Amino acid sequence: MKLYLQNCWKLDGTKLVYYGMRNAPHTTDNILRLTSRQAEILQSLPKEPDAQETRILSRLIDEGIVVPEDRLRPLIGSYEEARFCVSCVANDFMIPGLEFDAKGQCPICQNAGVLPKIKSVLPVVDNLPRDPKGRFDVALFYTGGKDSSYLLHHLANDLGLRVLALTWEIPYMSDSARASIENAKQRVPSAEFMVRKVKDDDLRKMYGKLYGLAGNTCACPSLAYVLFYPELVELGIPYLVLGNEPVQMKNLWFQHIAPLSAFDERAHRALTILLNILRVLTLRKPLRRGQAETLFAMRALAYGEPLVKRLSGFVNPLQDDAMRAMREIPGLQTPFRRAIRRSSWTGRIPAMVHIDMDDAAQGYDWAKVKTLLAERIGWVGPASLEKGLHTSCKIEKCKEYTQFIRFREMKSTVIPFSAVELSIASREGNVTREEAMRELKRHLGFSLERVPECAVMEAYLDLADMKERQAR
């Protein structure tokens, strides 16, 4: 009987890479190491293996990775053909290679017991102290979208903190996000707003590189850290608060970017204690909660992930691409690296901490949050009120489209972020299943045909001119 390598598995030297999402307990086992003999046999498939070859491949055959032709799973071409999870909106069109168990549940729902353990890779806080010595108690990255607007409202209005709201003005900022920012300036008097913009010529150099690496120009929030970290150090901001949509944090585990241990605060405390012993021995100020996480994150952006993390396999390929692209702008990272060195020595480090929006809002229901924000800080939603994911960017559908196509064609291991996030949101009750179904079918970029939003990106890049210059 002739055997085949199952669709969505790809042989890469002496390892197999799965471009999909596997059933539990193998959900995070997307890379399988092989012997050289196994790799050699797989390279020769499809064929009818002899008895010895069948024995060598027995584990792969048992796990359904090597199969006869009649068990090859087709690559689904539309939502109409897709199989949907019985408990959320995950389906095998927008997540190619999605597996289902005997109950019809996807791996997201099979791992429901894991999800409550995933809050953040940063220390989670409920409140923060006022800083008696400085002008600001806290800073946040503010895009005018739903999630950063909720965090601004919560910090300023619910917790009564003095907030520095940092906005990197991207060329693709949506009209609704711009209006939301202007309204917030009037409606949140305890916040001060700082805006930075990169020159178009420089930005096109970076975007051109990123487009070649990832097929899109999405560099948020990596560039924001580079632009604003020196300011945070200079101003002595005690805290930089992140409040990502709860499903975005959970997505990191499904993407193989962060292991479960990264969400364990006991591990963070142990790391800080170890670092502080070393810092005291070198006559430097001990770190407080969240500062070690800041230093590790900033150094990864400035110099790349440390070797030990790369060997573990838990890396963020999108951050890697953004870092490589930023090198196209001469001198961009010079003040950033200088600020890292200075803050590391002086201990003047903004501590990165996380506000859990589920806890803060007593359930992060998207519809209720949007209504609250419109009433309290003048938030302006996108043209379609059905849209709940990533509301601040004009080319979000282009990012979704390019991630989808590259994953489908096995060119990138990044599972389309919005596909995972919306599925988790429908599972967790942030949005109803019916609302999530409308959003994924009407407003997300999962399509085999190029979405119009890509033209916005290409027009800014002046893609024809870029290709002509590259040809020279």
Please, what are the averages of pLDDT over each run of 10 residues along the chain (472 residues)? 95 96 94 96 96 96 95 95 97 97 97 91 93 94 94 97 96 93 96 95 94 90 94 97 87 92 89 91 91 94 78 78 93 96 94 94 92 96 71 89 96 95 94 93 93 92 60 50
Distance, CA of 424 to CA of 446 (rounded, Å)? 17
Alpha-carbon distances, residue 88 vs 14, 94, 131, 254, 419 (angstroms):
35, 13, 43, 15, 11
Burial (0-12, 13-18, 19+ Cβ within 10 Å), 44: exposed
Contact indicator for 391, 382 with CB cutoff of 8 Å: yes
Q: Across the strands, what pairs with 355?
A: 125
**Three-state SS letters, 98-124:** ECCCCCCCCHHHHCCCCHHHCCCCCCE
pLDDT of residue 221: 85
Which one-letter DSSP state was computed for residue 76?
P
Tokens standing for residue 202: 């420089």
Distance, CA of 371 to CA of 320 (rounded, Å)? 37
In 48-197, beta strands by DSSP E? 66-68, 124-125, 138-141, 163-168, 191-196
Distance, CA of 168 to CA of 179 (rounded, Å)? 15
Each residue's pLDDT tens digit, 269-328: 898 999 999 999 988 999 999 999 999 999 999 998 776 666 666 778 888 999 999 999
User: Which CATH code is given to the segment(s) 124-359?
Assistant: 3.40.50
pLDDT of residue 100: 97
Contact indicator for 52, 73 with CB cutoff of 8 Å: no
Distance, CA of 365 to CA of 348 (rounded, Å)? 37
pLDDT of residue 309: 67
State if pTM tops 0.85.
yes
Which DSSP helix (H) or strand (E) runs through 12?
strand 9-12
Tokens standing for residue 205: 């150099």
The structural domains of the chain, with segments of one domain joined by +, span 3-116, 124-359
Distance, CA of 172 to CA of 390 (rounded, Å)? 12
